[in-house]
Structure 1
Amino acid sequence: MDQVFASWPIILACTAAFLAGGVVKGVISIGLPMVGLPLLTLVVDVPTAVALLLVPILLSNLVQAIEGEGTLVLLRRFAVLIVCMIAGTFIGTALLARLDQKILLLVVGLFAVAASLNALLNPRIAITPSAERWLAAPVGLASGIIGGMSTLFGPILAIYVISLKLPRDAFVKCISVLYTVAAACLLVAGVTQKVAGAHELVLSTLAMIPVFAGMRIGRRIREKTDPELFRKLVLGVVLITGANMVRQGLGF
C-alpha cells in the first residue's frame, strides 16, 4: 500500500482512475471496478487496487440504490442470487492472495468479451422467467467468487441483468441494489481476510472524492442518453474492459 505514496504521478494516476470510473458509473450504473481496476493496476499491484476500491464500490452503489422506490421488491426477486453471491464473495476473497492474478484477469476478461459480444450481436436474446429461476444460483455464486478475488462483480451481473430486458432506470436501480449487497460483503470479507486494514480503508474512503465527482458528471450524461444507446454503452464498457483484462493477463 505504501506504493500509493511513492510519487505524485502515482497519486495523480490513481485519482484519474477513480474519476474515470466514477464518470462511467454515473452514466451506466456499472463500471467503477471494471474501469478503475485495470487503470489502477497500471501503477499499483492487484491487492492494493482491490483494497483501494472497497469503500468507493460500496458508497457509489449505495447512492444509486437508494434512489427511487422498489428496493424491497428487488431484494425479494433476487434473494437466491444474493445469498449465493454473498457466499461466493467470501470464497473469492479467501482465494485472492493464493491465485495467479494474470490467470484471473485472463479468465474474467475472456468471459466479459465473449458475453458482451454475444449480447451486442444478438440483442433479442433474453432471459425468460423460468430461466431466471435456475440461473440465479450459479450466476450469484460465480459473480461472488470472481468479485471477491478482483472486485469485478460487473461482467457477469451486468450481462445477466441486461438480459432480463429491464427499462433503463429499472436496470440502474436493480444493478445498484445487487452491487451494494456485493460491495458490503466484499468490504467485510476484505477486512476479515486482512486484505485491507485501517490504513487501507482511510485511503479507500478518500478515493470516494474523485469517484463522486465523476458520478455527478456521468449522471448528467445519462439523463440525455437514449435507452438503446444506454444498453450498447453498458455492453461496450464490459467489452472494452474485458479486452484490457485479457491484454494484462497475457502480459502485453
Structure 2
Amino acid sequence: MTGLANASPELILVSITAFLVAGFVKGLVGFGLPTIGLGLMTVFVGVEKAMVLVLWPAFLTNLWQGLLGGHLRALLQRLWPFLSAAVLVLGAGTLVLTRLPVGAADLVLGILMVAYAVPLLAGVVLTIPARLEVPTGVGLGLVNGVFSGLTGSYTVPGVMYLQAIGLPRDQLIQAMGLLFLFSTVALGISLGSFGLVSGRETLASIVLVIPTLLAVWAGQKVRKKVSEAAFRRLVLAAILALGLYLIPIGVWRLVQ
C-alpha cells in the first residue's frame, strides 16, 4: 500500500471497511482487531504492510482499553510475569516471520483457536489454580509473544490464559488491553528493527485510527447490554469464528 492518499478508491474503501469491522469486534469482545484487520488487508497489501497498517489503530484502542478500566494497579501486580514474558520474546516471532512460508502461522493460529473454543463452548471448564498462575503465565506469555511477532495477533494463548485465571468481565477486558498494548509497542519496535516500517504505511495507519475508534465505541455500547455469562460465551464464539476465519486464509496463502 502506498499510503491512503495515493491508493485507489477501491483500496481505500476496503481499508476503511476492514477497520470498521475489526474495530466493532474489538469494542464488543475486547480483542480481534489485529486478527481481522490483518486477515482482510493481507489479501490486498501483503502481511508485512498489513501489520504496519494495524499498528496505530491497535495502539490507540489498546491504550484506551488497557489504562481506563479502573483496575490498572491490581492487574499489573498480578500479571506482570505474564506480560513481561509476552513482550520479551516478541522479536523472535518477527524474525521467524521473515523466514517462514506465508500463511503457515495463520494456519497454526487458527487451528489452536478452534481447538480451544470448541470444548469450552461444549461445557468444558478450563481453570488455572492460583499456585500455578505465575509459572503457567510465564510459559504461555512466551508462547504468546512468539505468536504475536509471527502473526501480528496477540490473542493466542494470552486471552485463553486470562480467561482461565478467572478474571471477571471488566478486569478481563482491561487485562486484554494491557497485553495488547504492550505487545503492540513491542511489535512496532520489532518491525522497525527489521526494516518493515515505512512512512507511507505509517501515515495510512494513523488515518485508519478514525474509523477504528468509531467502530470500537459502537461495539462497547452493544457490550454493555450483554450479561457476564453471555459475554464469556461471546468471547469463546469470537475466538472460534476467528480461528475458522484464519484456517482457510492460511491455506490460501500457503498455496499462492
Same fold (TM over 0.5): yes
Tell me the equivalent position of 2:242.
Answer: 241
The answer for the alignment partner of 2:187 in structure 1 is 186
Equivalent-residue separation in structure 1 for 2:251 and 2:202 (angstroms):
31
How much has 1:216 moved relative to structure 2?
A: 1.0
C-alpha deviation, 1:159, in angstroms: 1.3
In structure 1, the partner of 2:211 is: 210
Instruction: State the TM-score, normalized to the length of structure 2.
Output: 0.93
Would you say how many aligned residue pairs link Structure 1 and Structure 2?
252
2-structure distance, mates of 1:141, 1:208:
29
Aligned partner letter, 1:149: L
CA apart distance, 1:245: 1.1
- Residue 2 of structure 1: aligned partner: 2
TM-score for both structures, normalised by structure 1: 0.94
Deviation at 1:68, TM superposition (A): 3.1
Measured after TM superposition, the shift of residue 3 of structure 1 is: 8.3
Query: Offset at 1:119?
Result: 2.2
Counterpart-to-counterpart distance in 2, 1:83 and 1:168? 22
Residue by residue over 1:6-56, the C-alpha shift from the partner in whole angstroms, topping out at 9 and shown as x without a partner, is 521121111111011110111111111122221222322111111100111
Letter in 1 for 2:223: R
Instruction: Show CA shifts across 1:68-94 (max 9, x none).
Output: 322122112112112211122111122
Given residue 208 of structure 1, which amino acid in structure 2 is its aligned partner? V
Given that 1:105 and 1:248 are in contact with CA atoms closer than 8 Å, whether structure 2 keeps it comes out as yes
Equivalent residue number for residue 40 of structure 2: 39
Q: How many angstroms does 1:108 deviate by?
A: 0.9
Deviation sequence 1:198-239 (CA, Å, 0-9, x none): 222111111111110101100110111111111111111111
The gaps in structure 1 that reach 5 residues or longer are: none
Report if the CA contact (8 A) 2:147-2:156 is conserved.
no
Q: For the aligned residues, what is the CA RMSD? A: 1.7
Long gaps (5+) in structure 2: none
Per the alignment, in what secondary structure is the counterpart of residue 152 of structure 1? coil
Is 1:134 matched up with 2:135?
Answer: yes
Q: Which residue of 1 aligns with 2:98?
A: 97
Is the contact between residue 69 and residue 171 of structure 2 (CA under 8 Å) also seen in structure 1? no
5 Å matches for 1:1-252?
A: 1-2=1-2, 5-251=6-252
Q: Answer whether contact 1:116 1:159 (CA < 8 A) is retained.
A: no
- Secondary structure (helix, strand or coil) at the match of 1:19 reads helix
Counterparts of 1:180 and 1:94 in 2: how far apart (Å)?
20
Residue 41 of structure 1: SS of its match in structure 2? helix
Q: Percent identity?
A: 29
